[in-house]
Amino acid sequence: MLEFRRATPGDALAIHRLNYETFVEEIPQHHPNAERLLVDRFHDTNTYWVGLADRQLVAMCAIRNEHPFSLEQKGVTLPPGEWIEVRLLAVTPAYRNTRTFAGLMRAMLLEATERGVEGVVISGTVREQKLYRRFGFIPFAQPVGTAEALYVPMQLTRSAFMQSETARTLHPKLLLAGPVELSPQVRAALGSQPVSHRSAEASRLLHSVQSRLSDLVKLPHVYTLLGSGTIANDAIAAQLTGRGVIIDTGEFGRRLIDHANRAGLKFDVVPLSSGRLDLKQIEQHAPAWIWTVHCETSTGKLVDVDQLRQYAQTYPTKIAIDAISAVGTTTTDYSFAHFVTFVSGKALRNAPGLAFVAMRERAVPNPSIPRYLDLAGYDPIAFTQSVPLIQAMDVALRELTDEEIATHQSKLDVFVRELVRHGVPVELRDDQSPGIFSFTLPAILSSVELGRQLGFYGYQVQYESVYLRRANCLQVSTMGWTTDRDLQQVAAYIGTWLQKKTAAPESDGFRRGNLGGPNDESFDRGVLS
């Protein structure tokens, strides 16, 4: 596999050499010279992206945003808007497969996104027009150049790319704990025409969704809010009275503390230890309610909610559970709980936007709290709702069979076995969630660098959150419509990357390593189908 990154000054010689091999010896665009080096006339203003294998430069492209562009100097009028120009797109023969081209394409689009421009313009060689078009490029002017080196001015906008089926290989496969990879049927439902949320059809769809969710979590009353898990937990805070206990599980347990503080609740905090609750310490507080997350999203660790089930059988304490990262990854009977929150955009495999509160008892009107948090009014729809989101949720729940829920554990097992096979020391504990695997990198390595490299190969994983960056942590999730092969390939990449990074010397402030051979088909996200 290749490693893609922005070039450093130390790459200049290799860039000039590949430039010569491609645009003098292969494409006769410039005259030969004894040094076999070609320095681009815009070299000092170029931003280069390079692909390296075993610390050798094997692919590159140059990006400019300073006018006049090379195309403009050839008399070509650019399309309206702001653009960056991509030039010197070159790949050594051994690495000329669409996987390499796809990595450079992702680099181009990353530059376009970060610079806030319309997209990229490029001089696409005539002989590779089919390849360019398959990646979403379209011509915008007549060919330019000589008969020996004829090029077609082409453009690729960010918006056109996102809508282009021909460029589908560059869409990242989502291995996130939200948003998640959706099925074609769910995506089709999301694109349906909106209808009135007061219509009989909207009520029918919502009843179908809430009935299925009730069966899933084993609680009789489900209320649907338009929003994220934050609004669902705010609604729970508005339901709690008396002095309670909140379990500090980590980042998301502390968010419950923030919810409670903002709601003016009185409570004590009990820390979690290795997934186990300290029931004796909880008993000492004699709480009117206990609030915890089931899966601590920041670590991928589960809280043993069976302990709360046993506690509820002994004490008349209300149990509230944030199950946002748990529902859909495991089959859990929450019938012992009084409140459970979860959302559409995680393991339920729908787009974000719907928040759910499941309750053991029907909500009672409370005029002293904000209207949006008064769940008693949600019968069936209190405020404006997104019917396409509800329709997509209905489709997603029909797809969410017991067999599908069980695949989270099987995919996680595949992922871990592949990590171990590549020499990564991994040990699964009893509190490991089947939906999120989290691991912290050694201090000499960067989780951000690893996450970006996975992105260049078509896999989007979790690493950009502030709490993950702070911990130098990367997460891989099984929540969406992912496959065993997806998890195996990502684990193989991570294992290889870790091995090479820890073995390779540092140079130019960048740790380099061999990420596989040129024709290694173990990683195929960049290959056109």
Q: What percent of the chain has pLDDT over 70?
A: 93
- Closest to 209 (Cα-Cα) out of 386, 471, 43: 386
- Asked whether residue 521 is assigned to any structural domain, the reply reads no
Same domain as 279, residue 258: yes
Same domain as 261, residue 385: yes
Largest CA distance in the chain: 88
- What is the domain extent for residue 454? 402-511
Report whether pLDDT(203) > 50. yes
Q: How far is CA 441 from CA 45, 65, 456, in A?
A: 35, 36, 19
Same domain as 224, residue 157: no
Which CATH number is 420's domain given?
A: 3.90.1150.10
- Per residue, the 3-state secondary structure of 90-108, as one string, reads EECHHHCCHHHHHHHHHHH
Across the chain, how many H-helices and E-strands are there? Answer: 16, 23
pLDDT at 275: 67
What distance in Å separates the CA atoms of residue 193 and residue 202, rounded to the nearest whole number?
A: 12
Check if the beta carbon of residue 326 is closer than 8 Å to that of residue 302: yes
Structure token pair of residue 424: 């990564």
Same domain as 240, residue 389: yes
- Asked whether residue 526 is assigned to any structural domain, the reply reads no
Which of 398, 419, 441 lies at the terminal end of a domain, its last residue? 398
Structure token pair of residue 36: 């076999």
Residue 55, by phi and psi: left (phi above 0), alpha (psi -120 to 50) or beta? left
Same domain as 55, residue 98: yes
Number of domains in the chain: 3
- Asked whether residue 390 is assigned to any structural domain, the reply reads yes
pLDDT at 126: 86
Same domain as 119, residue 11: yes
What distance in Å separates the CA atoms of residue 347 and residue 16, rounded to the nearest whole number?
A: 49
pLDDT at 399: 97
- Asked whether residue 516 is assigned to any structural domain, the reply reads no
For the chain, the residue count is 529
Same domain as 347, residue 243: yes
Q: What percent of the chain has pLDDT over 90?
A: 74
Mean pLDDT across the chain, nearest whole number?
89
pLDDT at 142: 92
- Asked whether residue 69 is assigned to any structural domain, the reply reads yes
- For 293-347, the pLDDT digits (tens) are 999 999 999 999 999 999 999 999 999 999 999 999 999 999 999 999 999 999 9
Same domain as 164, residue 265: no
- Asked whether residue 524 is assigned to any structural domain, the reply reads no
- Asked whether residue 36 is assigned to any structural domain, the reply reads yes
Same domain as 123, residue 20: yes
- For 146-161, the pLDDT digits (tens) are 877 788 999 988 776 6
Lowest average pLDDT, out of 18-27, 119-128, 367-376, goes to: 119-128
pLDDT at 251: 95
Structure token pair of residue 23: 């645009």
Same domain as 354, residue 372: yes
- For 383-430, the pLDDT digits (tens) are 999 999 999 999 999 999 999 999 999 999 999 999 999 999 888 888
pTM of the model: 0.84
Same domain as 324, residue 218: yes
